[in-house]
Amino acid sequence: MDRCSVRPETGGYTLGNGTACSLSDRERQSLMGVAAGYSLWEVATALELPENAVGRMLREARHKLGVGSTAEAIITARMLGLLGV
């Protein structure tokens, strides 16, 4: 799984293979739920997923975005326009 990184030549963020950064629908939904103040359990219940699956989605989103915390992932995803907010 590639991480997002800045590309000075374009001024944007892309993956190592040159494609635009993106999150899966579940990664985006998980980040949005936590950003809205819901607990992992509440997000998992709303998405009809096990709580550990939501944790995994958040971990994968953090990895893709190259950050160390979920709060950083939310901020970065918002800056990149990946959360639609």
Higher pLDDT, 54 or 5: 54
Number of separate domains in the chain: 1
- In a domain? residue 2: no
Q: What percent of the chain has pLDDT over 90?
A: 54
Domain that holds residue 62: 23-79
CATH classification of the domain holding 68: 1.10.10.10
Q: Which residues of 13-45 are buried (b: 16+ CB within 10 A; e: fewer)?
A: bbbeeeeebebeebbbbbbbbbbeebebeebbe
Whether residue 60 lies inside any domain: the answer is: yes
Residue 1 covered by a domain: no
Q: Is residue 8 part of a domain?
A: no
Assess if residue 4 is contained within a domain. no
Residue 7 within a domain? no
How much is the pTM?
0.80
- CA pair distance 32, 73, nearest whole angstrom: 10
